[in-house]
Every structure is written in C-alpha cells, then in structure tokens.
Amino acid sequence: MKLYLYHTPEETPSDSLPDCAVVIDVLRATTTIATALNAGAEAVQAFSDIDTLMAKSAAWVAEKRLRAGERGGKTVEGFDLGNSPLNCTSEVVTDKRLFLTTTNGTRALQRVEKAPVVITAAQINRQAAVNYLLAKKPETVWIVGSGWQGTYSIEDTACGGAIVDSIVQQDNISLSEITGNDEVVGAFSLYKQWENNLLVMFEHSSHGKRLLGLNCQDDLKYCAETDIMDILPIQKEPGVLVKL
C-alpha cells in the first residue's frame, strides 16, 4: 500500500486514478457527512453546483430530502440546512437524503468520483478510515484534501497526517515504506506537531478564522475531536455516499 497526499483536488494527477481515494474536508463537509450518516440519514448526495442539486433533488420526495448548502461558510438561501455537523441530529436527518453542496469538499469528491473506491474521512472518524485501509490494503491510496477554493488548508493536511500516523502505528510499518510522495511526510510531521492541540491549530487556520467570524466556535470544537464515531462514508454511486 502506497499513500499519496494532495492538499487540494487541483493537485491530483489528471491522467490517473487511485485504487482508493480518501476525501477530507474537516471544516466541514466530511465531518458533516459522517455525522449525518451516523445519525441515520439514508445517504448524502454531493454536488459542486447548486443548480444541479436543485434539479436532482426536485425529483425526490419532499418529506425524504434535505437540501444542505454552504458558500463562504454561510447557508445557501432557501436551503434546509447549511454545512454545520451540529445540525445533523437524528431528529432532523433520520431516513432522509441530504443533498449537499459546499464551497470545497464537494469539488474534491467530484474529482475522484470515478475511482474504484471513494471514502471520506475527518478527525471524528479518522480511525474508521484507517481500519478500512488496513483491512483492504489498496495498492494506491490518494488522500485528497479539499483546501479552500483551490488553495491549501492546514486542517485537511493535518487530518491526512493523522491517518498516516495511525497506519504506521497499527501496521508496524515504517513511514518510508508507505510514502508515495513528499506531502505524506509533511502531513505526518504537521499532525505530530499539533496532535494534542488540534482546536488551537484550527483557530489559527484561515477557514477556522472565517468560521469563528460566523460564530461557529462550537463547530470548530466538534470538528477537532478525534475518533468519536465508528462510521465510514463510502461512495455507492458517483456522488452518493452511504454508511458502510
């Protein structure tokens, strides 16, 4: 198993796909996806484009759908939910499909949707992703951060490093044996620097500051928690994620 880490979907190779892609958007799409499925959502269907989401969701039974959207950290006007994982309670999402569009995470999912296996990870379900990778041992793994509008996001890279760290520890393997590109080593080092202070790191990040400006402190605290749920979102069909 060789791991390759890309800070943004734009950095991924354009002429190939991995055996397994791990999409990360800690603040907040992949945290929200895991939380919604853990709370009983039927599925989460991701869209990069709002108009496409509206068209697809219009064909769904109204009582069984939730439109969840965010642009610039703010809820899309007219949608049922924004992108806060804290709103994805069982009372709200059970047996419903979330039609989700976000500034960054849904673009990352779209980039790798044709890979044989696509899973999503965040700090809250990091170990579930690691357990899957260790059980399946795909030959090539892309860990893809979502970034912010094509630029680097420290929290996504750190989560990638958290995955690498757990694999190294559990599989009794050296970092060099699983490293496919230099970014893997950088992500591992970044996570080790901040692993006991993830919330502080999030507060330093550009998107963390943006969310703090929107009074989303509780979201940051939740997104900074590690391994609090044993759930793995996996792509069932392009753009549609279900609980494994």
What pLDDT is stored for residue 72 in this prediction? Answer: 77
Mean pLDDT over 197-202 rounds to 96
Q: How far apart are CA 176 and CA 101, in angstroms?
A: 37
The H or E element containing residue 46 is: strand 43-47
Mean pLDDT of the chain: 94
At 69, is the pLDDT very low, low, confident or very high (cuts 50, 70, 90)? confident
**Which amino acid appears at position 150 of this protein?**
G
**Which amino acid appears at position 87 of this protein?**
N
What pLDDT is stored for residue 73 in this prediction? Answer: 73
Give the 3-state secondary structure percentages of the chain, helix then strand then coil, rounded to 5: 45, 20, 35
- Domains of the chain, start order: 2-243 (3.90.1560.10)
Mean pLDDT over 216-240 rounds to 96
**Angle value at C-alpha 153, between 152 and 159, nearest 5 degrees:** 125
Other CB atoms within 10 A of residue 117 CB? 17
What pLDDT is stored for residue 104 in this prediction? Answer: 74
As to burial, measured by CB atoms within 10 angstroms (0-12 exposed, 13-18 middle, 19+ buried), residue 116 is: exposed
**CB contact at 8 A, 148 and 72:** no
Instruction: Write the pLDDT tens digit of every residue in 124-133.
Output: 999 999 999 9
How far is CA 76 from each of CA 49, 79, 183, 207, 233, rounded to the nearest angstrom? 12, 6, 34, 18, 24
Nearest to 207 by CA among 5, 28, 11: 28
Instruction: Write the pLDDT tens digit of every residue in 117-161.
Output: 999 999 999 999 999 999 999 999 999 999 887 889 999 999 999
What pLDDT is stored for residue 85 in this prediction? Answer: 95
Report the percentage of the chain scoring pLDDT > 90. Answer: 85
What pLDDT is stored for residue 230 in this prediction? Answer: 96
Residue 121 tokens, joined: 């990870």
State yes or no: pLDDT of 42 exceeds 90. Answer: yes
Residue 11 tokens, joined: 């950095």
